[in-house]
Amino acid sequence: MKELIEPEVNRIFECDIQLKSRLRVNVFGRMAFCNYLKDNVFITITDMARYLKMNHATVIYYLKEHKQLYKYDADYRKRYDRLKTPTVEKTGFCNLCTY
């Protein structure tokens, strides 16, 4: 499932979440990716951290910061809402999948 969501996050946030870069777009993409997985796929924090090749504490930080970003950053909110389209929520797959 993670492999299906990643290209959609990369496209919407115009980033590459697998890069170790601390550029804002990459960090915001990783935050959205982790929060989407937590809310919709019910994956553990440890598994998210392994997939992103990061420490689990970083994932916990991402999940906490997502709430603040979503509340106060209009651009982030708009992009995250695009990630949460009805197609993604109902099927559990990204918009690119035809299952």
What's 41's domain CATH number? Answer: 1.10.1750.10
- Does a structural domain hold residue 43? yes
Report the alpha-carbon distance of residue 14 to residue 92 in Å, rounded. Answer: 22
* pLDDT top residue among 89 and 26: 26
Across 57-64, average pLDDT: 96
- Does a structural domain hold residue 98? no
Tens-place pLDDT, residues 69-94: 999 999 999 999 998 875 544 445 55
Q: Contact, 5 vs 18, CB < 8 A?
A: no
- Does a structural domain hold residue 17? yes
Domain assignment of residue 39, given as a range: 2-91
87 Cβ neighbours under 8 A, 6+ residues apart: 93, 95
